Structure 1
């Protein structure tokens, strides 16, 4: 069964009819491909046919009376039409050949010097190259469409740590200019530069475990961005890699908020159970003590001593239950507008004696303008003061440095209370806000639980980062009023 030959339509633009018949004859004598050659004998007729965009290839004589083949190529550009063009020139027109190539011609042939085979090869190569370029351009359009419009951070980088290109989303989320990013080394984008250096080393070693791996970037304002990072080889010759980073900061924050809210609900249920189970026996004990005092036992001094112990411990248990309930119930708030800088300065003034006695140095980096939050002043000061006192106690006996820093987004104020104290273990961080959990000998484990409750009641959140032996950073996020 004979397969049908694919027809290739060619337009020859030449004012010499003999040349047209010669080309038509040469192509008709070839086997394996069917060429249909149309003829445009004048420049104006050629333009009319070109405008129909019906041919796969164009053979264009350079000399067309008052016009040239370069004029034809310029017409292609004027109607935004691209197709493979082979220029036909005379002997010795090498400067014309260069001009034709610069104007967009795919190839050139010298009249009188080509055979049917060389003509067919030139046509086939020009069409194949054209299709190849079309595919490349289509891939580039798709790639740059994704690159430009993607909501993810996209970075091109090489194994010399250089950032080669970034997409608009990277500029927006990282808050750098393109010029700033292109002057940076890739590890500088990482919250922990050493982690960034290891990432590049593993990437360039062909590590396949770098897809969807969690890292943290840092913005130009030193804000932390949690990302899921993918790396793939884009250009093997130049060792260029495509990095796609999905910003999961908000997702992680919401997940943590949900976990904290779940924990908060569980704690509330436990507190209510404890209150129900313990308060009734406590009431009976207090009533018994009252009755016992009205009818003293024979040894009055000894009985009074025991009764005093029972009574004091009952009151202490009752007090703990009351405090526990307070930490798990969102308090009623007297919300008013307060400048955040003033609130933090007030908290530091209340802790001034403790700071001075412990010999702790304080550094502050407040917002340049006094942004305002809506808060219950007394309660938010308790939260700030709890964190400051915890930091002081973590640094006792050391060359303590307490730093309070702030930054902001369009909607939130971030307050960082940073100490260089003993730090908190991973186990301790996991249970830090749990009621009654404490590492202090005399602590009751309710201070941070109460602090978290106050912050949550202000529609904010609190996070901790810590390393044993290095120190801790508590970050409070509060909604900004203006």
Structure 2
């Protein structure tokens, strides 16, 4: 209320002398303008509650009724309405009951003056406005909490989860938090890395109010996500945690980086081919000419050196051609195919290897998956390369190969996951580079060709791996619009 505004009061009391006294006191207050309306009973007061009053003065005794009943009625209609109870004497249980029902304060008749009445009225209005503001903020927070698309939770200063929103339950499931369970769930158990758990403990120890950290989080036993955690102290001992899934952003960045690297490698390969093949042709022609011009006596002693030159020139030429072929976007003959069928056909091509190592195959195909327009033969080559790599990385008899297909948005997605030895982190960034291989035998062009085929279709390929646990290749193709 600003000083220029009039404060409207409903005064409910069956004693006209008390009404006169209160009215006189209010008129004697110069700083604030009060407008008083009265009612002598509960029945007379209730219809007047439809009007907008700023504050209510209610006597405890209202004939056959009590002011407590009127307070209940007022609070039913306006939860945060400022109500002051007037009593004839100080009786603890009445005061407590009035306050429990939501009365802002109470005054004892005959023991207050104009100044006390004015201050009590203004404080009651101020507190009511504050409570209403807090209630609105709580509703707003609850709405944000419930409707947020990102996982959101509240935890205490020991990291125990107190409450979560629907997005959290959808992402992490009841294993992370079950409100119906008597078990305690701790936020740190979702952090996959020891360093992140230590960071969380340090946050509590340092008694910080706000903190952002990137962390790897466990969604289920086999699935982890890169996430950005925003931790904010809400009140003493209570913290809000907003979890932003960075996996999609990281995946997009990785796909763009792979495409840039592939394009860059292709440019280098074309430059190399141009710069190498021209002098290579000259060397070969010179070797042929030398073979023709050398006397027989010299050829009989040193002619095999010319053959060495020819063989190595052919080898260099072959490697350059392979490099060019593996980094040049492939020409395609696209047709409509079922990705499930292509995976099965690729699997059939390597059945002998699977049987030899007694690999267990697990299929998780989405049955109603859409067909895609791809060059079937070339996609099969890419899939065979990935499946063969997985088989070679897995142990005999205990190897498990997962083939999974799904639709997400406008993408057809394939996952090929093994439980093999995994790929060291330092090798992951070089995995699709031409001629890079960790195998004793092999050209190092298999994954380069695979990447070429996927990218030529406008698709994307990513890899996730953990040493000792296995590797996942994630492939996506655009669906037909």
Give the equivalent residue in structure 1 for 2:258.
Answer: 260
Alignment of structure 1 residues 85-96 onto 2, 5 Å: 85-89=83-87
Secondary structure of 2:86's aligned partner? strand
Counterpart position of 2:463: 464
In structure 2, the partner of 1:384 is 383
Q: Among 144, 147, 150, which residue is 1:146 paired with? A: 144
Instruction: Quote the residue 2:247 is aligned against.
Output: 249
Which of 278, 281, 284 in structure 1 is aligned with 2:279?
281
Cα drift, residue 262 of structure 1: 1.4
Q: 1:320/1:479 Cα in 2 relative to 1: closer, same or farther (>3 Å)?
A: same
Matched with 1:215 is 215
CA RMSD of aligned residues (A): 4.0
For 1:304 and 1:210, the matched residues in 2 are separated by: 79
Q: Deviations over 1:176-232 (max 9, x none)?
A: 699747755424544x27566445423322375983322233446955432211112
Is contact 2:82–2:103 with CA below 8 Å preserved after alignment?
Answer: yes
For 2:403 and 2:219, the matched residues in 1 are separated by 16
Q: Write the distance in 2 (CA, Å) between the matches of 1:449 and 1:330.
A: 11
* Partner residue in 1 for 2:187: 186
Shift in Å, 1:25: 4.1
Q: Please state if 1:364 is matched with 2:359.
A: no
Provide, for residues 297-328 of structure 1, a one-character-per-residue CA deviation record: whole Å limited to 9, x for no partner. 41445565334333322222222122212222
Question: Does 2:430 correspond to 1:431?
Answer: yes
- SS of the residue corresponding to residue 234 of structure 2 reads strand
Tell me, in whole angstroms, the C-alpha distance in 2 between the residues paired with 1:330 and 1:208. Answer: 53
Name the CA distance, whole Å, in 2 between partners of 1:345 and 1:146.
46
Distance 2:464 2:176 in 1: 31
SS in 2 for 1:332: coil
Tell which deviates more after alignment, 76-85 or 264-273. Answer: 76-85
Unaligned runs of 5+ in 1: none
How far apart are the structure 2 equivalents of 1:384 and 1:472? 17
Cα distance in structure 2, aligned partners of 1:313 and 1:444: 16
Q: Secondary structure at the match of 2:458?
A: coil
Deviation at 1:394, TM superposition (A): 4.2
Matched, 1:413 2:446: no
Q: In structure 1, how many angstroms separate the alpha carbons of the residues matched to 2:419 and 2:221?
A: 21
Assess, with a 3 A threshold, how the Cα gap between structure 1 residues 163 and 337 changes in structure 2: closer, same or farther: farther
1:18-51 CA-to-partner distances (Å, cap 9, x unmatched) read 1112223455678x96463513235677567654
Offset of 1:61 from its aligned partner? 3.1
Q: Name the SS for the 1:317 alignment partner.
A: helix
Q: Secondary structure at the match of 2:432?
A: coil
CA distance in 2: counterparts of 1:181 and 1:256, whole angstroms: 37
1:370 and 1:124 map into 2 onto residues whose CA distance is 67
Counterpart in 2 of 1:205?
Answer: 205
> Counterpart of 1:332?
331
**Given that residues 146 and 166 in structure 2 are in contact (C-alpha distance below 8 angstroms), is that contact kept between their aligned partners in structure 1?**
yes
Once the two structures are superposed, residues 119-141 of structure 1 have per-residue CA deviations (whole angstroms, 9 ceiling, x without a partner) of 56654553343233234224323
8 Å contact from structure 2 (residues 190, 217) kept in 1: yes
Deviations 1:319-355 (A, max 9, x none): 2122212222221223344444443344344334445
Residues in 2 aligned to 1:81 and 1:208: alpha-carbon distance in whole angstroms = 36
C-alpha contact 1:271 1:328 (8 A) present in aligned 2: yes
Q: Which moved more, 1:256-265 or 1:296-305?
A: 296-305
TM-score, scaled to structure 2? 0.80
Equivalent residue runs for 1:43-54 within 5 Å: 46=45, 50-54=49-53
- In the alignment, the residues of structure 2 paired with residue 245 and residue 461 of structure 1 have an alpha-carbon distance, to the nearest angstrom, of 26
* Gap change, CA 1:177 and 1:101, over 3 Å in 2: farther
**Is there any run of 5+ residues in structure 2 with no aligned partner, and where?**
none
Question: Contact (CA 8 Å) 1:163, 1:182: kept in 2 or not?
Answer: no
Helix, strand or coil at the partner of 2:153: strand
TM-score by length of 1: 0.80
- Per-residue deviation, 1:86: 1.8
Contact 1:279/1:318 (<8 A) preserved: yes
Q: Does 1:344 align with 2:343?
A: yes
Deviations along 1:396-425, whole A, 9 cap, x unmatched? Answer: 7x886243242635344241322432x433
Between the two proteins, the alignment pairs up a number of residues equal to: 469
Aligned to 2:23: 24
Secondary structure, aligned partner of 2:464: strand
Residues 399 and 419, structure 2, Cα contact 8 Å, conserved in 1? yes
TM-aligned CA deviation for residue 266 of structure 1: 0.9
- In 1, Cα distance between equivalents of 2:408 and 2:133: 44
Name the SS for the 1:279 alignment partner: helix
Contact in 2 for aligned 1:159/1:240 (Cα 8 Å):
yes
Deviations 1:211-268 (A, max 9, x none): 33222334469554322111122232xx221111222222212211221121112111
CA gap of 1:370–1:128, structure 2 versus 1, over 3 A, is closer
Q: Which residue of 2 aligns with 1:166?
A: 164
- For residues 61 and 175 of structure 1, do their structure 2 counterparts lie closer, same or farther at Cα, with a shift above 3 Å needed? same
Change (3 A) 1:189 1:334: farther
Contact kept, 8 Å, 2:80 with 2:131, in 1: the verdict is no
- Contact 1:372/1:480 (8 A) holds in 2: no
Aligned to 1:240: 238
